[in-house]
Amino acid sequence: MTPIEMKDGTGAVHRVFLTGATGFVGREVVRRLVGAGYIVRCLIRPGSAGKLPRGIDLEIHEGDAREEQSLQGALADCEALIHLIGIIREIPSRGVTFEKLHFQATLNMVRAAQNQGVRRFLQMSANGCREKTQNPYLATKWRAECSVAESGLEWTIFRPSVIFGPGDGFVNLLARVLRFSPVMPVFGDGAYRLAPVAVADVAAAFVAALSARQSIGRKFHLCGPAALTYTRILDTIAESLGRRTPGKIFIPESIARPLASLGENLPLFPLTRTQLELLLEGNECPEQEWKKVFGIDPRPFEADSLHYLRTSGKKT
């Protein structure tokens, strides 16, 4: 195949190395990359290949981003690396922590790119990450960003808000409750605002960045076209399911925080203290440069955009 040139005619990307390919965003990125003509090599933990999109011709490298030695030779003949690995909840007993999956895994991938001659590096981060925060999710995302920005590679960093689409965690979780309950718990006053962004648009931005040299050395916040209150988001999900506007039970933050702390070590408890703090903080973008740079008109978070919920009631 013909390598895909940068828009200014310099450099070319033929083969892309992808981490997080079995995840919610990763599966969409795989489809978009292949559809755009790239050869895709996926980093897959042993036994996880069955989680990849079916019917797509992919290269596989078995390894673990947490184990640097497993990455030796993994990037041979690749011109770009897209790093998507991230978690929203820790499971320390399995070695699944923000420190290991956000920071150490990113550091390992940066070193692999440096050592194996891959110059282009695209990083999935998180909107709201910053240096001065007590939230371990945001703090480790920030440190991961720093390792990329200081790498000397040709990097681009994406900071998405809440991502929605088929197979998502956040919207599908709320939909499951709404299907069986006429009322919804709301932590705090529910006035905090989120700007949900469609997974298809996030994936499109990653693919577009590979051929957009003007994106090198820049960070992009990815948000949908409107910021909505949490209560409005609940009403929109209910509308998409053909349900009435749900009743709401407002749980004061003074009660919600201890409850979330109690659930930290309960795998089936739907909310951790870290997740609660992320929710209460809100998630809006300070700018929307990505729309202009990548030519993307993001999908709105509306009932019609959530059609996948109507077909995922039995299994999401």
* 102-122 pLDDT tens trace: 999 999 999 999 999 999 999
With a cut of 50, say whether residue 220 has pLDDT above it.
yes
Residue 211: pLDDT band with limits 50, 70, 90: very high
Tell me what the mean pLDDT of segment 129-136 comes to: 96
Is there a domain that residue 315 lies in? no
Residue 126: pLDDT band with limits 50, 70, 90: very high
Q: Given the DSSP bridges, would you call strands 59-62 and 12-13 parallel, antiparallel or unpaired?
A: unpaired
Query: Would you say 200 and 275 are in contact if contact means Cβ atoms under 8 Å apart?
Result: no
With a cut of 50, say whether residue 12 has pLDDT above it.
yes
Tell me the CA end-to-end span of the chain in Å, nearest whole number. 36
Tell me what the mean pLDDT of segment 247-276 comes to: 90
Query: Would you say 171 and 306 are in contact if contact means Cβ atoms under 8 Å apart?
Result: yes
Tell me what the mean pLDDT of segment 69-88 comes to: 97
Which residues contact residue 292 at a Cβ distance below 8 angstroms, ignoring those fewer than 6 apart? Answer: none
Q: Is 228 helix (H, G, I), strand (E, B) or coil?
A: strand
Structural domain of residue 61, as residue ranges?
4-165+198-223+284-298
pLDDT at 298: 98
Tell me what the mean pLDDT of segment 167-172 comes to: 96
With a cut of 70, say whether residue 5 has pLDDT above it.
no
Is there a domain that residue 251 lies in? no
Choose between 12 and 262: higher pLDDT: 262
Residue 276, phi then psi, degrees to nearest 5: -60, -45
Report the amino acid identity of residue 265. Answer: N
Q: Using the structure block, give the residue that is written with the tokens 């609660």.
A: 276
Is there a domain that residue 303 lies in? no
Is there a domain that residue 77 lies in? yes
Which residues contact residue 143 at a Cβ distance below 8 angstroms, ignoring those fewer than 6 apart? Answer: 102, 103
Is there a domain that residue 183 lies in? no
pTM recorded for the entire structure: 0.93
Segments of 119-223 assigned E as strands = 120-124, 154-160, 163-164, 183-187, 193-194, 197-198, 218-222
Is there a domain that residue 28 lies in? yes
Average pLDDT, the chain: 93
Angle at 271 between CA 231 and CA 234, to 5 degrees: 15
pLDDT at 164: 98
| Two tokens, residue 127 | 């909107």
CATH number of the CATH domain containing 57: 3.40.50.720
pLDDT at 4: 53
Overall number of domains in the chain: 1
Is there a domain that residue 209 lies in? yes
Is there a domain that residue 22 lies in? yes
